Chain A
Amino acid sequence: MKKLMIVLTLASLLAFAGQAFAHSPLMSCFDNGDGTVTCEGGFSDGSSASGVKIHVTDGGGKSLIETNMNQDSEVTFKKPDGAYMVIFDGGAGHTVEVNGADIVE
């Protein structure tokens, strides 16, 4: 019996890396046309994304802007020149990336 318990525990430890699920991150971004970009965020289960870290990186991955979603789960930042990525960082396994090229007016 002990052997069985050990096997089960080890196996489950290996398999499940503490991911959380139906709590999936969502983000949509819009180009405001005035040199800024606004992104709205949330989670599929309705949880607020307030306070979630937002990273804006350049085409090479270098961090340009570090900020957070505000209380309304929104963030507005200056649109970078050239290629960029917006990363919604809700913690392990809860990131969403949006390519700047896909953000339209």
Chain B
Amino acid sequence: MTSTPILVALAGQPNCGKSTVFNLLTGARQHVANYPGVTVEKKTGSFSIGETRVELVDLPGTYSLTSYSLEERVARDFLLGDNPGVVMDVADASNLKRNLYLTLQLIEMEVPTILDLNMMDVAERRGQKIDILGLEKILGIPVVPTTAKRGAGREQLREAIVRTADTTRESVFRVNYGPMEPYIRELLERLKEEPLLSVQYPLRWLAVKLLENDAEAMDLLGRNHPDADRILEATEAARSKFAAEEGNEVERHIAFTRHAACAAISRKVVTMPTERKRSLSDRADRYICNRYLGPIILVAILMVLYQVAIVFGNWLALQVWPAWGALEDFAADVLPAAGFMDDPLLRSLGLWVVKSTTAILNYLPIFFLLFSLIAILEDSGYMPRMAFILDRLFRRFGLHGQSTLPMILGGVYVGGCAIPGVMATKAIPDERARLATIMIVPMMNCLAKVPLYLILIGAYFADVGGFAMFFIATVTLFMALPVAKLLTLTVFKKHSSAPFIMEMPPYHVPTVTGVLRRAAERVWLFLKKIVTVVAAVAVVVFVLINYPGLTDARKAHYAEAEVKAVDGFMAEVEKTGYQGRINRDDVLSIILFDEALKRAKQGVTDQEKSNVINQRFEVRNPVYYAVVKRVGGDGKALNRAIKKVNRVRKQVRRESRAERFETSFLGVMGRTLEPVTQWAGFNWRINIALLSAFAAKENSAATLGSIYGLDGSQSVQESMKAGESGFTALHALALMLFMALYPPCVPTSIMVRHQSNSTKWMLFSIGYQTLLGLFVASLVFTGGTLLGLSGFQAMWAFYGLCVAVTLGMGLIPVPEETEATPVITAICKDNCS
């Protein structure tokens, strides 16, 4: 009959079905965030048991509760600081002995504990029999057998929570540390002297941890005990004494004693089958981890991933596109009407923001597919196998076996996206390798970079198109690997590299709901985090490319063109029966009427339907309709005339837009950068295109087009050639390389910040990539020019250089993990960047 909510912490080792238990208890009412200040996911959910509210917090899965890893520290902090009423330890029943290792430590923290013996079906399948009651008696805590994926055990868990919350159990199991017990007792006495400590923290646990030389425990003592230094000194002495007497270090002894206790308990309550059956997973692994088949299967899986996510995803995106197109049309209708040359600010800004956002939204189907496939890969248990196969290769470059997936997602050959690529780095357990991967994933071939490659290749490498495409697609890999290595050797040197030690759990068939739920969660996260920032950045870019705007003199020039065109039209009107009924103001309206009619008929292929729409518009304004649809002799004449005006209008808009662009802040930036970028062969026009491309790479092709003020009789590539006389294949090569290397887009940078949890790294990634891009482009351009190489020759010379550097870098040894205690990064509790 408690009305205060119960806080339940969900703990457990990895691969025990903890997530399934979480979903089983909370249903759909979940919320995903991060633990404060760190990139560790915190899932909370709530549910009711009768009248009582229960809040469930999913702690990170950990094998133990030391202070060596971020996840463990986060879990411990929560248990000590947030005062949960119950901790539910989810264990894999078929691996009881190992799982008890965590259970015993949880019990030691003196929070009321429930042991959820999950995956009972697996234990059964393996022929194991577990004496639940016996286990309960020994441990002194409730033990609930469950098979969460089938929903079995839910009621018992709920009942156990209510039964156990906030109670103190007297007969809870206590590990007997043998020869260490006297030391523990002595330290305990000392700690009891400080009442503040005994109220807040479990003292026996603290004593054990201090003797174990646990860094965070020592920190805790320092903050809460006035006499901490003396105690720490005494503890240090005790440790040495113990090591001398027992011939074993305290940490070892404690860990070994715990394991022995687990083994003893397990022997008592678990009956193993007489014969150990070969599990399906073992048999599958024979192929999947095989020396020859393994890599082939890996490549096959990646290809399927790519095919489904990118190729099929694109097809899907195309089907969904009309929805975004409709959004754009809706905006066009709702915002203030267009003008002749200029549009009202609200309209142009509004449309710009909408277009920038729909460009990103266009990727949603691809993301959803990608996230679903990744969830399948993760849930199935294949990821550790991938790491197992590739680790040796990637390790040479400071990466990790699990860096494979992020890089594939980023686009290994052509067409990927850095956003899910960076998101996927979450799974990499090694902090240093994870950072290195985050830094190089944006260098992979993202979908949006491709149109520019196509334009440049079409213009300057038309006859060797295939080779050029192959070049640009694969050279990024040979640039990314050495960079990763370089970063690892320099910038990341201070970061500790975690041991590889990795469990390879049995394979598991993912559930449809689990996969879809995870995919939906990630898509939602993407929408929340990224779309808002993209819209904001779009506004900034808008200002940069539209202001200071045209001078009055130029505006007058274009206004003159408008006046002349309208004059011409009005002259025609005088000759017709519409004289007096159409005046100057109507000219623009007629043009807009025409556009509206076209928009209404988009996609309509049935003449009947088209006629209905025509009628609607006729009713709306018969005069306009007559002009637009050539009704009557007068209508036909005016139709020709209005078409002339429209052409002028389009030209005026195009030209004024290009001019405004060139004189804008961005344009000025582009010009100022020219002295630097000239070594890469970029003139100010290219600079502007590149600067605007940062907002969204798709813009680069469009911007390039508009800057060159394309004359429609030639293709884009021809116009560019004509526009940039003196622009050679070498220029194009340098430009392509720059585009390949420099940061793909704002959403990616946001993801980088999110995954690395620091603005510093985001800025670093933007900075180093831009500089690297400039350096490489300059190297290729200036170097190529000095050596007198043609574009094609320079291409392959550079390629050879990259491959050589990659191989060379691969041979340099990576700094091995230091044996000393790693530096603990404090978990920031508030006001973190």
Which A residues form the contact surface with B (CB < 8 A)? 1, 3-4, 7-9, 11-13, 15-16, 18-24, 28, 30, 32-34, 40, 43-48, 50-53, 68-72, 91, 101-105
Instruction: Give Cα distance in the complex from A69 to B716, angstroms.
Output: 10
How many A-B residue contacts, CB cutoff 8 Å?
A: 157
What are the nearest 8 A-B pairs in CB distance? A70-B712, A102-B605, A45-B698, A20-B450, A51-B715, A104-B610, A16-B413, A71-B712
Q: Which residues of chain B come closer than 8 Å to A20, judged between CB atoms?
A: 414-415, 447, 450-451, 453-454
Evaluate whether A21 and B310 lie within 8 angstroms (CB atoms) in the complex, with A16-B413, A34-B630 already known: yes
Question: In the complex, how many angstroms separate the beta carbon of A6 from the nearest chain B beta carbon?
Answer: 10
The yes or no answer to B714 lying at the interface (CB within 8 A) is yes
Question: In the complex, how many angstroms separate the beta carbon of B626 from the nearest chain A beta carbon?
Answer: 12
Binary CB contact string for chain B from 351 to 370 against chain A (1 if under 8 A, 0 otherwise): 00001000100110010000
Evaluate whether A24 and B318 lie within 8 angstroms (CB atoms) in the complex, with A30-B601, A47-B701 already known: yes
Contact A71 B299 (CB under 8 A): no
Question: In the complex, how many angstroms separate the beta carbon of B615 from the nearest chain A beta carbon?
Answer: 12
State the majority secondary structure of interface residues on B.
Answer: helix
Could you give 26 example pairs across A and B, Cβ below 8 Å? Answer: A7-B295, A7-B299, A9-B474, A12-B412, A13-B470, A16-B473, A18-B470, A20-B414, A20-B454, A23-B447, A24-B317, A30-B598, A43-B701, A44-B317, A46-B699, A46-B702, A47-B702, A48-B710, A48-B716, A50-B710, A68-B715, A69-B712, A91-B458, A104-B601, A104-B610, A105-B614
Contact A104 B359 (CB under 8 A): no
> Which range holds the interface residue count of chain B?
35 or more
Instruction: Give Cα distance in the complex from A52 to B412, angstroms.
Output: 29
Residue of B nearest to A98 (CB): B605
The yes or no answer to B463 lying at the interface (CB within 8 A) is no
Q: A7 touches which one: B296, B310, B651 (CB < 8 A)?
A: B296
Instruction: Give Cα distance in the complex from A41 to B719, angstroms.
Output: 18
Contact B447 A21 (CB under 8 A): yes
The yes or no answer to B654 lying at the interface (CB within 8 A) is yes
Q: Which residues of chain B come closer than 8 Å to A22, judged between CB atoms?
A: 314, 317, 362-363, 366, 447-448, 698
Q: Which residues of chain A come closer than 8 Å to B706, judged between CB atoms?
A: 48
Q: Which residues of chain B come closer than 8 Å to A1, judged between CB atoms?
A: 392-393
The yes or no answer to B821 lying at the interface (CB within 8 A) is no
Q: A18 touches which one: B303, B469, B601 (CB < 8 A)?
A: B469
Question: In the complex, how many angstroms separate the beta carbon of A36 from the nearest chain B beta carbon?
Answer: 10
Q: Which residues of chain B come closer than 8 Å to A46, judged between CB atoms?
A: 355, 359, 698-699, 702
Instruction: Give Cα distance in the complex from A20 to B699, angstroms.
Output: 15
Residue of B nearest to A25 (CB): B318
Contact B314 A51 (CB under 8 A): no
The yes or no answer to B603 lying at the interface (CB within 8 A) is yes
Residue of B nearest to A105 (CB): B610
The yes or no answer to B167 lying at the interface (CB within 8 A) is no
Evaluate whether A51 and B415 lie within 8 angstroms (CB atoms) in the complex, with A21-B314, A22-B698, A91-B454 already known: no
Contact B714 A45 (CB under 8 A): no
Evaluate whether A16 and B415 lie within 8 angstroms (CB atoms) in the complex, with A47-B698, A47-B701, A104-B610 already known: yes
Residue of A nearest to B701 (CB): A47
Binary CB contact string for chain B from 783 to 800 against chain A (1 if under 8 A, 0 otherwise): 000000000000000000
Instruction: Give Cα distance in the complex from A26 to B706, angstroms.
Output: 18
Q: Which residues of chain A come closer than 8 Å to B636, judged between CB atoms?
A: 34
Residue of B nearest to A50 (CB): B710
The yes or no answer to B825 lying at the interface (CB within 8 A) is no
Question: In the complex, how many angstroms separate the beta carbon of B300 from the nearest chain A beta carbon?
Answer: 8
Evaluate whether A44 and B473 lie within 8 angstroms (CB atoms) in the complex, with A22-B448, A51-B716, A104-B607 already known: no
Contact A11 B299 (CB under 8 A): yes
Instruction: Give Cα distance in the complex from A101 to B363, angstroms.
Output: 32
Instruction: Give Cα distance in the complex from A88 to B495, angstroms.
Output: 53
Contact B712 A68 (CB under 8 A): yes
Q: Which residues of chain B come closer than 8 Å to A3, judged between CB atoms?
A: 295
Question: In the complex, how many angstroms separate the beta carbon of A47 from the nearest chain B beta carbon?
Answer: 4
The yes or no answer to B629 lying at the interface (CB within 8 A) is yes
Evaluate whether A68 and B713 lie within 8 angstroms (CB atoms) in the complex, with A21-B415, A105-B614 already known: yes
Question: In the complex, how many angstroms separate the beta carbon of A96 from the nearest chain B beta carbon?
Answer: 11
Contact B705 A44 (CB under 8 A): no
Question: In the complex, how many angstroms separate the beta carbon of B654 from the nearest chain A beta carbon?
Answer: 6
Contact A18 B414 (CB under 8 A): yes
The yes or no answer to B19 lying at the interface (CB within 8 A) is no
The yes or no answer to B604 lying at the interface (CB within 8 A) is yes
The yes or no answer to B307 lying at the interface (CB within 8 A) is yes
Residue of A nearest to B706 (CB): A48
The yes or no answer to B602 lying at the interface (CB within 8 A) is yes
Residue of B nearest to A51 (CB): B715
Q: Which of B423-461 contact A (CB under 8 A)?
A: 447-448, 450-451, 453-454, 458
Q: Which residues of chain B come closer than 8 Å to A32, judged between CB atoms?
A: 630
Instruction: Give Cα distance in the complex from A16 to B359, angstroms.
Output: 24
The yes or no answer to B711 lying at the interface (CB within 8 A) is yes
The yes or no answer to B306 lying at the interface (CB within 8 A) is yes
Q: B715 touches which one: A44, A52, A105 (CB < 8 A)?
A: A52
Q: Which residues of chain A come closer than 8 Å to B603, judged between CB atoms?
A: 28
Instruction: Give Cα distance in the complex from A1 to B641, angstroms.
Output: 71
Instruction: Give Cα distance in the complex from A28 to B598, angstroms.
Output: 9
Question: In the complex, how many angstroms separate the beta carbon of A63 from the nearest chain B beta carbon?
Answer: 18
Q: Which residues of chain A come closer than 8 Å to B712, judged between CB atoms?
A: 50-51, 68-72
Question: In the complex, how many angstroms separate the beta carbon of A43 from the nearest chain B beta carbon?
Answer: 8
Q: A45 touches which one: B451, B716, B719 (CB < 8 A)?
A: B451
Contact A23 B610 (CB under 8 A): no
Instruction: Give Cα distance in the complex from A33 to B466, angstroms.
Output: 43
Contact A23 B605 (CB under 8 A): no
Q: A15 touches which one: B303, B454, B470, B699 (CB < 8 A)?
A: B303
Contact B654 A71 (CB under 8 A): yes
Instruction: Give Cα distance in the complex from A70 to B630, angstroms.
Output: 23
Q: Which residues of chain A come closer than 8 Å to B715, judged between CB atoms?
A: 51-53, 68
The yes or no answer to B136 lying at the interface (CB within 8 A) is no
Apart from A18-B470, A23-B454, what are 16 other A-B pairs with CB-CB below 8 Å?
Answer: A1-B393, A8-B295, A15-B306, A18-B466, A22-B314, A23-B698, A45-B451, A46-B702, A48-B701, A48-B706, A48-B710, A51-B714, A71-B654, A71-B710, A72-B650, A102-B605
Residue of A nearest to B609 (CB): A104
Q: Which residues of chain A come closer than 8 Å to B717, judged between CB atoms?
A: 51
For B299, B392, B639, which residue has the most chain A Cβ atoms within 10 angstroms? B299
The yes or no answer to B819 lying at the interface (CB within 8 A) is no
Instruction: Give Cα distance in the complex from A101 to B542, angstroms.
Output: 41
